[in-house]
């Protein structure tokens, strides 16, 4: 079997069973691309920043399915926690949490504690929870706090929003911990109404890919081609796919609106189809034959955007 179309390290994978290959494709967690790499670089910079009274922070914003959480999880994977070490202390270079279910400052601190598996008495009041974190976080060597699902902040009353924002600010200040906050444009406006927060949180946008013939979209096109090229050379199909061309890119863009999340699902569905039908490669025909399981989600997305 000629597997020259795959990078050498991926060739043995193409010889595995259909089931194993599909599992492998479905469990793909990370594909790098320039825009994400830039954001990761900035996160690394925050991670390595010296402790100061005024720590810099990041506000990562983008629509749903633009790939924000995947970047945060990638950062986490690059700095994994070491749990159950011989000296009995966990080492957690990064704390990642989702704001879901937090409406009050107390719930926020409880969520931080839960995210590091720390026990706290349910009756503990705010100062006690804060005191616990002041001890635990330096002991774990934490150098970055990532707060995802920031939109949850916007669902509360104005006062609740302010209290929660103040608590986030206070935690960062007291512990001299840089923070990456992640949400959609909606949460960006909630942050920007607070002068102090907008000064401290530098916004980074993760837009969907543009695909048109203008000069401005040239960089997007190159990134898209890069991702498809990577797919062709790493996805364990047994024949050479042909997806790095204008027709395929146009079709993928049309069906996924250029969102990284939908695009990944699209390529996964196409690869599964290629394996299950024995075609073993993806071409423009695959896209019209296969079932794209996120088709309705994309339709809703399109409707909301109008
Ligand atoms: N760089 C990537 N490499 C591989 N897969 C990715 C990447 N980015 C996104 N995905 C895929 O797309 C899905 C959606 O991405 P993600 O959860 O990061 O979006 P999001 O911007 O956080 O969306 P939401 O605002 O709804 O939380 C992921 O579950 C993952 O399967
Ligand atoms: Mg997310």
- What is the residue with the minimal CA distance to atom 17 of ligand 1? 69
**Radius of gyration of the chain, Cα coordinates, nearest whole angstrom:** 22
CA atoms within 13 A on the CB side of 159: 0
Mutate to test the pocket of ligand 1, among 69, 205, 269 (most ligand atoms within 8 A of CB): 69
Q: With bands split at pLDDT 50, 70 and 90, how would you rate the model's confidence at 304?
A: confident
pLDDT for 102: 86
The rounded mean pLDDT for the chain is 93
Distance between CA atoms of residues 180 and 148, nearest Å:
8
Model confidence at 60: pLDDT above 70: yes
146-160, 185-199, 239-253, 259-273: range with lowest mean pLDDT: 185-199
pLDDT for 209: 92
CA atoms within 13 A on the CB side of 44: 10
Model confidence at 306: pLDDT above 80: no
Model confidence at 263: pLDDT above 80: yes
| Average pLDDT for 60-75 | 97
- What is the residue with the minimal CA distance to atom 16 of ligand 1? 67
Task: Quote the tokens at residue 159.
Answer: 């006062």
What's the pLDDT tens digit per position in 13-48? 999 999 999 999 999 999 999 999 999 999 999 999
Q: With bands split at pLDDT 50, 70 and 90, how would you rate the model's confidence at 214?
A: confident
Q: With bands split at pLDDT 50, 70 and 90, how would you rate the model's confidence at 199?
A: confident
Q: Closest ligand 1 atom, CA of 184?
A: 25
* Residue 53 vs residue 61, higher pLDDT: 61
> Ligand 1: residues within 6 Å at CB?
28-31, 36, 62, 64-70, 260-261, 264
pLDDT for 186: 84
pLDDT for 193: 80
Q: With bands split at pLDDT 50, 70 and 90, how would you rate the model's confidence at 86?
A: low
Residue 210 is given by DSSP the state P
| Average pLDDT for 96-116 | 93
Hey, where are the domains in the chain? 8-29+210-305, 34-205
Mutate to test the pocket of ligand 1, among 261, 262, 263, 301 (most ligand atoms within 8 A of CB): 261
What are the DSSP calls for 62-111, one per residue? Answer: --TTSSHHHHHHHHHHHS--B-S-TTS--B-SEEEEE-TT--SHHHHHHH
What separation in Å is there between the alpha carbon of 264 and the centre of ligand 1?
Answer: 8
| Average pLDDT for 69-83 | 96
Mutate to test the pocket of ligand 1, among 264, 266, 297 (most ligand atoms within 8 A of CB): 264
Q: Closest ligand 1 atom, CA of 73?
A: 18
With a CB cutoff of 8 Å and minimum separation 6, the contacts of 106 are 125, 126, 129
What separation in Å is there between the alpha carbon of 72 and the centre of ligand 1?
Answer: 10
Angle made by CA atoms 187, 190, 194, in degrees to the nearest 5: 140
Distance between CA atoms of residues 88 and 96, nearest Å:
21
pLDDT for 87: 65
With a CB cutoff of 8 Å and minimum separation 6, the contacts of 67 are 36, 206, 259, 260, 261
pTM score above 0.85:
yes
CATH architecture assignment, domain 34-205: 3-Layer(aba) Sandwich (3.40)
Mutate to test the pocket of ligand 1, among 39, 60, 70, 208 (most ligand atoms within 8 A of CB): 70
- What is the residue with the minimal CA distance to atom 4 of ligand 1? 30
| Average pLDDT for 137-153 | 94
| Average pLDDT for 182-193 | 85
Q: Closest ligand 1 atom, CA of 36?
A: 1
* Helix (H) or strand (E) run with residue 180 in it: strand 179-183
What separation in Å is there between the alpha carbon of 67 and the centre of ligand 2?
Answer: 7
Task: Quote the tokens at residue 269.
Answer: 């569905």
pLDDT for 85: 66
Q: Which of 215, 223, 181 is nearest to 198 (CA)?
A: 181
Residue 92 CB neighbour total at 10 angstroms: 24
Task: Quote the tokens at residue 113.
Answer: 């504690």
Distance between CA atoms of residues 167 and 52, nearest Å:
18
Q: Phi/psi at 286 (nearest 5 deg)?
A: -55, -40
With a CB cutoff of 8 Å and minimum separation 6, the contacts of 199 are none
Distance between CA atoms of residues 196 and 193, nearest Å:
9
């Amino acid at each position: 079997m000629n597997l020259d179309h795959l990078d050498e390290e991926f060739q043995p994978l193409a010889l595995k069973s259909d089931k194993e290959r599909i599992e492998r494709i479905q469990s793909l967690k990370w594909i790098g691309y320039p825009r994400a790499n830039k954001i990761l670089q900035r996160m690394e910079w925050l991670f390595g920043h010296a402790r100061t009274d005024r720590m810099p922070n990041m506000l990562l914003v983008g629509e749903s399915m633009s790939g924000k959480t995947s970047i945060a999880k990638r950062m986490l994977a690059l700095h994994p926690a070491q749990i159950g070490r011989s000296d009995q202390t966990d080492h957690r270079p990064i704390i990642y949490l989702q704001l879901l279910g937090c409406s009050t400052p107390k719930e926020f601190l409880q969520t931080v504690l839960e995210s590091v598996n720390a026990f706290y008495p349910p009756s503990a009041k705010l100062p006690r929870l804060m005191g616990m974190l002041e001890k635990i976080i330096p002991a774990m060597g934490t150098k970055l706090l990532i707060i995802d699902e920031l939109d949850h902040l916007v669902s509360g009353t104005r006062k609740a929003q302010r209290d929660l924002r103040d608590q986030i600010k206070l935690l960062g200040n007291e512990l001299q911990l840089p923070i990456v906050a992640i949400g959609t444009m909606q949460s960006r406006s909630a942050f920007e109404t607070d002068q102090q927060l907008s000064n401290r949180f530098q916004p980074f946008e993760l837009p969907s890919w543009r695909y048109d013939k203008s000069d401005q979209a040239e960089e997007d096109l190159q990134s898209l081609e890069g991702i498809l090229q990577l797919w062709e050379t790493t996805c364990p199909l047994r024949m050479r796919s042909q997806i790095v061309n204008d027709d395929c890119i146009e079709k993928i863009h049309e069906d996924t609106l250029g969102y990284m999340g939908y695009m990944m699902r699209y390529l996964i569905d196409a690869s599964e189809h290629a394996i299950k039908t024995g075609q073993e490669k993806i071409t423009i025909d695959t896209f019209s034959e296969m079932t794209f399981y996120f088709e309705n989600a994309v339709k809703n997305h399109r409707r909301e955007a109008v």
